[in-house]
Structure 1
Amino acid sequence: MFKKTLAGMFGLLISLAACQSPDNAQTEQTETQETTAVADTTQRTPRPKPENYSFKGVEKKRVYICMDPTDDLFHQKHDCPVLVSCASTFRNLTLPRAVEAFDRYNCETCSADLAYVFDESAVRMETGLGDK
């Protein structure tokens, strides 16, 4: 009886192993790795540091940044789709620090209303360098 049960279990194991197709699994894994590699190589280089900016009225505003070296955006919302797709860690810091220390620009998805921070004419008028 024990030999029949053991033989039955052994037969079941062999049939399960025969159903597995390791070639297909390897092909799918290779395709996934190739797709990931293509996505990683298409990352853009970050823009140069912002030259003109003014934080009047938003000096204490807190924003989020992705610590990925290719990212150059700050986000107002922690659940912004662009920020959530970050493969690195997040940081929460003040807007002036995000711009001055980390060279970040506003995210068009969640921070479009802060684009005025980089408006050159507004910065010139505030500093007294604009035409009056």
Structure 2
Amino acid sequence: MGMCVSSESPTRKQNDLKSSPTAKRSVVVIDLDGHLQEFNNPIRACHVLSKNQNGFLCSSETLNVGTRAEMVTDEEELVPGNIYFLMPLSKSDSLLTLEELCYMAIKASKVLTISSFVTVAGN
């Protein structure tokens, strides 16, 4: 008995997260506690990191099992429609595990679902 994991094609859950109404129009930053920050205008990573000096940003697009989270540079402009995770600096040299990626996906799914509901209900 074994478990197969493929990192080549996005899962349905990842596609669902990207198609969220919230995720399409704004830059979404999620910390590991499940707090969501949304930015409707272009923003540089340094602006987000200035309020979170013990962390680093990584794009959900670059996260894979068995690799290190690729840090977004301070001057990089965050792209609307992308989801970014704010991770503690202590994780910067660690290889990502399947469990960690699943945890991050669950957190993202929950906060994006709530945010989408609030956006639709608020209209």
Q: Could you tell me the TM-score, scaled by structure 1's length? A: 0.30
- Give the number of the structure whose residues are more often strand, by fraction: 2
With a CA cutoff of 8 Å and minimum separation of 6, indicate the structure with the bigger relative contact order.
2
- Give the number of the structure whose residues are more often helix, by fraction: 1
